[in-house]
Every structure is written in C-alpha cells, then in structure tokens.
Amino acid sequence: MSDFFKYICLSLGIPLQESKEDRIKHFVQYSQVLSHSKRRSNLLRKSIVDFPIDSSTKPNTQTMDKFGDWSYQTLVDFCKTYTKPSKTCRPWIISIDGNIGAGKTTLLQKLQREVDPKRVVVVYEPVQKWTEMKDMTDEMSLLQKYYTYPHMYSFMFQTVIFQTIIQSIEEAIENHPDCDIILCERSIKSSRNVFCKMLVEDQCMTSFEHTVYESFFTPRICELYYPDHTIWLDVPVKTCLERIISRAREGEKVINLDYLQRIESLYLQERTF
C-alpha cells in the first residue's frame, strides 16, 4: 500500500488494511453508513438522518423541472421565499451544475450576497480538500494525480469526491440547523451520472470498482443527499476552456476541448437524471 493511499484512508477516517479487497470493503462500509465521521453531532443526526422525508416536506414539483431552466431571478426569488414546512425537514437542496469552468463558483458567490445566510447556505465544491491531499513522495495532490494518471486514481478520487461532498452538506446543516435551502456546487448525483460514467466508458474504472462505487448510493443516501433540483449552466465549451486556462488551477493543465465536449454531451444526455 502506498503512503499516499494510507494518507487518503486516514483523511477519511478509514482503518488501514493490507488487503486490497479489505480496503475496498472499508470504503463501502464507510460510504454506506458514514459511521466513521467524528464530526457528526447528535443535532446533525436528528437533522438529516432520523427524520423521514416525504412529499409533504417539499415544494410542489409540478412547476419545477428536475433539471431546471430557471432564470437567475427565479432562483433568487425561490431562495428568498421558500421555507421548510417544519424544523424536522431536511433543507431543500439545489445543485448548481455545469461543465468545468462554466461559472458555478461565480454564480454561487453572487447568490450568496443576495440571500439570508441563516436561511440559505452555500456549499462550494471542496476542491481545496482535494488539493491538500498530497503524496509526500512526489508532492502531487490527489487532483493532480487524477488528471495525470486517471487509470490509477479514478476510483480513489471519485470515492473522495463522494465523501467530501456529503461531509460538506453535513457540516452545513450542523452549522446552520435552521436553514431552509442548501445551494451546492455540483452533487453526488452529477458525479455519478456524468463524471463516473465517463470514467467507465474510458475504462479508467474497472467493472469491479464501478460496482463498488455504485454500492455507495443506497436509497437512504440518495434520499438525504441527492439534490431536489438541479440547475445546469449552459456555457460554450470554448468559453469554459478559456476560463480554465485563465484561472490556472492545480492539476487542470491537461484538460482539453475534447474532454469538455464529452462532459457537455453527458450532461445533455442526463438532463432527466
């Protein structure tokens, strides 16, 4: 087992095992029951685990597309007016989705300035966590390794994405137990249906790894962490690439136009997911 893999396991609170099968088993166990998260308080458990979620806890979805074409003002108005039916309901989750460089962070920053932070909590994609996880043998971050050696690190990276997104939502609810809405930058749903799907097509994840990854998505996990509404930012891929080059984020130098076009194609295929 590499030191870097040990570091990832320790970062997620997963016990170290010598056997690859045992390590994967622990990933599955950790992902399904979230039993190793030491940060979850009793309040958090009551906020999103113990309370059932049913149709009565959500707004009328007949007027809301699952993959929405909302205007910016529609989104702002919804954030300002929606209130949970009761304190026992988990917040309404809206995912801001789109290609790499589509402007998700910029949009969320703008929204954050217009909404009540006690009622509407913004959860950014935890990129910093992915860049802080570094292999001490070569100083490469997990994000860099994923883009540079996708066949070796895709399963590990997708597992970390799954965990860190859930942890970010948990922390948001723990810190804002009375919030009505959570605005997320992407979600475990788009990770599953867009990015993981592309990795499987490229054979960067084996069929066994994909089976393990799919086992993370239990009905309860989907109920708690899937977005209630997804808004896709439709931005030309050339514009996305220009923004990626301009921001010069660690690990993204290998991203090209073909890669972005494939992501866009999968988003278009999955507009009903």
Please state, in angstroms and rounded to a whole number, the distance separating the CA atoms of residues 35 and 78. Answer: 34
Per-residue pLDDT tens over the stretch 226-242: 999 999 898 999 999 99
Boundaries of domain holding 64: 3-269
Map residue 72 onto helix, strand or coil. Answer: helix
Please state, in angstroms and rounded to a whole number, the distance separating the CA atoms of residues 113 and 106. Answer: 11
The torsion region of residue 244 among left (phi > 0), alpha (psi -120 to 50) and beta comes to: alpha
Please state, in angstroms and rounded to a whole number, the distance separating the CA atoms of residues 3 and 135. Answer: 7
Partners of residue 235 on adjacent β-strands: none
Provide the 10 A C-beta neighbour count for residue 252: 15
Please state, in angstroms and rounded to a whole number, the distance separating the CA atoms of residues 90 and 86. Answer: 9
Provide the 10 A C-beta neighbour count for residue 47: 23
Residues near 194 by beta carbon (within 8 Å), at least 6 away in sequence: 263, 266, 267, 270
Please state, in angstroms and rounded to a whole number, the distance separating the CA atoms of residues 197 and 179. Answer: 33
Share in percent of the chain as helix, strand, coil (round to 5): 55, 10, 35
State the pLDDT at residue 256: 94
What mean pLDDT is predicted for residues 64-83?
Answer: 74
User: Could you tell me which residue, 185 or 73, shows the higher pLDDT?
Assistant: 185
State the pLDDT at residue 2: 55
State the pLDDT at residue 86: 80
State the pLDDT at residue 246: 93
Please state, in angstroms and rounded to a whole number, the distance separating the CA atoms of residues 236 and 238. Answer: 5
What mean pLDDT is predicted for residues 234-252?
Answer: 91
State the pLDDT at residue 33: 40
Report the chain's mean pLDDT, rounded to a whole number. Answer: 79
Per-residue pLDDT tens over the stretch 120-153: 999 999 999 998 999 988 989 999 999 999 999 9
Per-residue pLDDT tens over the stretch 18-36: 555 565 555 444 444 443 3
Percent of the chain with pLDDT over 70: 73
Output the domain CATH number for residue 123: 3.40.50.300
State the pLDDT at residue 18: 52
Residues near 269 by beta carbon (within 8 Å), at least 6 away in sequence: none
State the pLDDT at residue 207: 94
Per the CB < 8 A criterion, the answer to whether 159 and 168 are in contact is: no
Please state, in angstroms and rounded to a whole number, the distance separating the CA atoms of residues 211 and 191. Answer: 15
Task: Tell me how many domains the chain contains.
Answer: 1
Name the H helices within 88-191.
104-112, 127-132, 142-148, 150-175, 188-190
What mean pLDDT is predicted for residues 68-82?
Answer: 82
Q: Confidence class of residue 63 from pLDDT cuts 50, 70 and 90?
A: very low
